[in-house]
């Protein structure tokens, strides 16, 4: 992966306006959603596998990403694009679109109604934790058409309704979403961590779409979410929906979230959960 070029000067400042970028993100996500809805979820052939036999790619993932790339290139020709299936094409503007054409591909192949199109635009280097910032993001839930949107400094919305802050329960009353990686060694470690956490919280949910997990915390459907092993395209859009609605999102040791660990909740629950996860070694595979 290479580094995008430097941001342009003030003459181009409006091109970095979060509200305007959000319009582009939402249009692209909804168009890819229409493409995916036109296929028959649950009767989908797997085209290839990635990190393990359970890490699958379908022709629809590839077609949806191609459509996203085509739309973004037409509207934002100077920006880079980083997508789950086709990698990073650097741009010249300092902005990169980070897209997941289907987040929740396994759900999609089984016809379980929990998978999204995730479209974010970020400044900085999306391959380096803590060195990028989402300016606008859209998570379009394909089966329900629910659409989560956020612009930096302009708030987060679900289907146009503003998401607001709300109190967090104590750890023992928290409904905690999580997810598991695809590799066997990582899953062993994740099973150990979740087994220790389950008796300490209200309950655990594993829905199978990290963008929905993070947006779910923003919307109050879960109290917290954590996962090890995420890729930037899994959370680049949803992290802004979360933070713009008052959720705090951290990584190992309270640093930036990354593939090592992402923990999301409102404070003070966030601190209690992050401490539990640190004590359990949730950022390790051993």
By the criterion CB under 6 A, which residues form the site for ligand IPD? 84, 100, 103-105, 179-181, 208-210, 227, 229-230, 234
Tokens describing residue 187: 């899953």
Distance CA(113)–CA(180), nearest Å, equals: 18
Spatial contact of 260 and 172, defined as CB atoms under 8 Å apart: no
Of the pair 105, 123, the CB lying nearest ligand IPD is at 105
State the CB neighbour count (10 A cutoff) for residue 60.
24
Closest CB to ligand IPD: residue number: 179
Half-sphere exposure of 86 (CA within 13 A, CB side): 18
Beta bridge partners of 204: 176
Distance CA(12)–CA(96), nearest Å, equals: 15
Of the pair 177, 250, the CB lying nearest ligand IPD is at 177
How deeply is 173 buried, as exposed, middle or buried, from its count of CB atoms within 10 A (0-12, 13-18, 19+)? exposed
Of the pair 88, 180, the CB lying nearest ligand IPD is at 180
Distance CA(214)–CA(55), nearest Å, equals: 21
Query: How near is the Cβ of 3 to ligand IPD at its closest, in Å?
Result: 24
Of the pair 136, 214, the CB lying nearest ligand IPD is at 214
Query: How near is the Cβ of 279 to ligand IPD at its closest, in Å?
Result: 22
Spatial contact of 158 and 146, defined as CB atoms under 8 Å apart: yes
Query: How near is the Cβ of 219 to ligand IPD at its closest, in Å?
Result: 17
Of the pair 16, 82, the CB lying nearest ligand IPD is at 82
Of the pair 94, 181, the CB lying nearest ligand IPD is at 181
End-to-end CA distance of the chain: 29
Handedness of CA 153, 117, 30, 95 (dihedral sign): positive
Query: How near is the Cβ of 70 to ligand IPD at its closest, in Å?
Result: 20
Beta bridge partners of 147: 140
């Amino acid at each position: 992966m290479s580094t995008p070029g430097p941001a342009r000067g003030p003459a181009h400042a409006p091109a970095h306006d979060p509200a305007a970028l959000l319009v582009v993100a939402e249009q692209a996500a909804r168009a890819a959603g229409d493409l995916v809805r036109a296929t028959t979820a649950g009767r989908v052939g797997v085209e290839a596998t990635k990190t393990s036999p359970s890490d699958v790619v379908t022709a629809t993932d590839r077609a949806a990403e191609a459509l996203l790339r085509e739309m973004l290139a037409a509207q934002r020709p100077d920006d880079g694009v980083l997508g789950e299936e086709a990698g990073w094409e650097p741009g010249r503007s300092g902005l990169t679109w980070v897209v997941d054409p289907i987040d929740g591909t396994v759900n999609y192949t089984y016809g379980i109604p929990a998978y999204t199109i995730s479209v974010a635009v970020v400044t900085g280097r999306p391959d380096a934790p803590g060195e990028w910032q989402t300016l606008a993001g859209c998570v379009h839930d394909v089966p329900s058409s629910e659409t989560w949107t956020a612009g930096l400094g302009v708030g987060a919305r679900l289907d146009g309704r503003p998401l607001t802050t709300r109190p967090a329960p104590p750890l023992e009353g928290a409904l905690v979403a999580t997810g598991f990686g695809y590799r066997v060694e990582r899953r062993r470690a994740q099973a150990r961590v979740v087994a220790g956490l389950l008796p300490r919280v209200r309950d655990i949910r594993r829905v199978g779409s990290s963008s929905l997990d993070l947006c779910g915390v923003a919307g109050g459907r879960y109290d917290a979410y954590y996962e090890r092993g995420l890729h930037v395209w899994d959370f680049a859009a949803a992290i802004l929906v979360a933070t713009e609605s008052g959720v705090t999102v951290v990584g190992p040791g309270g640093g930036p979230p990354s593939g090592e660990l992402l923990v999301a909740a409102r404070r003070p629950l966030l601190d209690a959960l992050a401490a539990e996860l640190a004590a359990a070694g949730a950022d390790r595979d051993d």
